[in-house]
Structure formats: C-alpha cells, structure tokens
Amino acid sequence: MEGLLSAHKRMEEGNVPVVVHAAAIAYGFVFLHPFEDGNGRIHRFLIHNIFARQGLTPQGLMFPISASMAKQPGQYNDSLEAFSRKLMPMVDYDIDEHGEMAVKNDTGYWYRYIDMTAQAEALFLFVQETIGTVLIEELQFLQSYDRTKKALQNIVDMPDRKIDLFMRFCLQNNRKLSSRKRAKHFQLLSDAEVSEMEDAIRAGYSSTRIQ
C-alpha cells in the first residue's frame, strides 16, 4: 500500500495521462485487496477521485463511469481477470474450513511490477462509453425529471420532498404508485389526483430509460 500511494503521488506530480493514472492506482488497489470488504467500491471511487483531482471532469460534476462498468459486466470482469487469471496458477495457497486463505509463497514481486495495459485499455473504453452514451442518458433523465416535477406541482401543491418521493416510488414501480406506499405516505391524495399524477409521470418518461 505504501508503494501504491508513492506511485499515485509520482503520477500526480509527473503529469501522467489521467486515465492511465486512474487505471494503475484503482486497479492496483483492488488487486492488492487490503480490506475484507468494500475493495471494489473503493476501487471505483478512486477512479472518480483521480478524474476529479486531475481535472478530467468539471468541478461539481460526477462523471458516471461506474454506470458504464455496470452496463458492461463482461468487459469489466475481463479487465480484473486479465491480472488474476495469470497470477493464480503461480500462487501456492490453502483455504481452511472457515474459508480463510493462507498464501504460502512470496507473491510480492507480481504486485510490484504489474503490466496494466489491459486495465488502461478497458478504462479508456469505459470513458468512451460514458461520454457517448451514459452521459446523454443521464441528461435526458434529468430533463424528464425536471419537466415531470413541474407538471406534478401544477396538479397538487406539495413540498418538493413529497413530490420527489412520489416520483421515486412511481419510477421504481413501473410508473405507478403502489397501494402500500400510498397508504403510508400519500393518504391525503384523492384517487383522481393520484391518477393524474401517474399519467404525468408516464407522459414525462414515455421515451426515457428509467435509471
């Protein structure tokens, strides 16, 4: 981990291309796997963090590259296994009855000098997918959200928090408010109001992919 942090600082100060920098550090972290849980989430956070630190994305904008990874699980898994598939045959290990792994041989060398070409290439493809597809879908979703929210506010005068809650419940349930959620959160709405609001949501998201 000290070596990974040192490499991160050298890359940041040495103007290494940001995608190469992010690939080396984020994938390096998940390959080291220092924690029992959460390594994958931190790995993806590091990509976002390095992109932001290096100015790849405008300040305040979340670059949704994790969504691209989730849309292409095969390519994402291949980028992880490009390292582990070659490494595992060279690791002498046992797994006990509790599922705990014990490594018997020295594997440090393989982690010090990793060829990150496959991971950098994969990350470039995820960046391309994010710019060309995911960002466009996100912007379309947000535009639909703002437009639909205004339509709902014209039907019923409710606080923004309640409007947002109504929209979220409907979008999670095929654009319809469930009886259970209505009884718990929107019992004051009439049948006609609920029906009109559901129609507004269906109209607002008729051609938009639900996130």
Q: Which of 84-88, 108-112, 163-167 has the lowest mean pLDDT?
A: 108-112
| pTM (two decimals) | 0.69
**What percent of the chain lies above the pLDDT cut of 70?**
98
Average pLDDT of the segment spanning 26-49? 94
Euclidean distance between CA atoms 72 and 76, whole angstroms: 6
Q: What are phi and psi of 186, to 5 degrees?
A: -135, 40
Q: What are phi and psi of 85, to 5 degrees?
A: -60, -40
